[in-house]
Amino acid sequence: MSYAVKNLVQGNSELIAFRIGDQEFCVNIMAVREIRGWTQATPLPHAPQYVMGVINLRGAVLPIVDLSARLGMKEAEPTARHVIIVAQVRSSVIGLLVEAVSDILTITEENIQPVPEISSDLERQYARGILAIDKRMICMIELGAFFPEQESEAA
């Protein structure tokens, strides 16, 4: 039995963990198409502030979202060390700018703690839960809630 099938049978999920500033976040690995180095984006007029622009990804136009700005944090100043996580959000493919990919995690539902009630409405909207792994606190992002359908199509 393959590793992926064994994980599904055991009720495990795999996540990609990444850093933005001093914080760690993660998304379901099944939403990730690829991880690539930073490429300068061409700005789009009248785009939301967190949309950095678009890049050409093998002939396809890919919108790039500054995940730091989308989270309400300081806007990213991309360097050669930044990476783009190319992810599927419903019927759209978007690029998420992050500082670095830090880990691939295998978890079960029991590992996911609820988001604290004192969190902001925005955080409760996109955060599926919090993972406490070793001494790390990792916020699990639900991309579908984070990018509403009409917004992901506009990007």
The tens digit of pLDDT for each residue in 104-140 reads 999 998 888 888 876 556 556 778 899 998 899 999 9
Q: Is residue 4 part of a domain?
A: no
In a domain? residue 5: no
| Token pair recorded at residue 121 | 């409405």
Question: Is residue 2 included in any domain, yes or no?
Answer: no
Q: Which domain holds residue 29?
A: 10-154
Is the pLDDT assigned to residue 4 strictly greater than 60? no
pLDDT in tens, 69-114: 988 889 999 999 999 999 999 889 999 999 999 999 999 988 888 8
Residue 102 and residue 18 in contact, taking contact as beta carbons nearer than 8 Å? yes
Q: Residue 112: name the closest of 147, 141, 145, 144 by CA.
A: 141
Within a domain: 139: yes
In a domain, 142, yes or no: yes
Give the global pTM: 0.83
- At 126, which CATH number? 2.40.50.180
Domains held by the chain: number = 1
Cα 127 from Cα 17, distance rounded (Å): 14
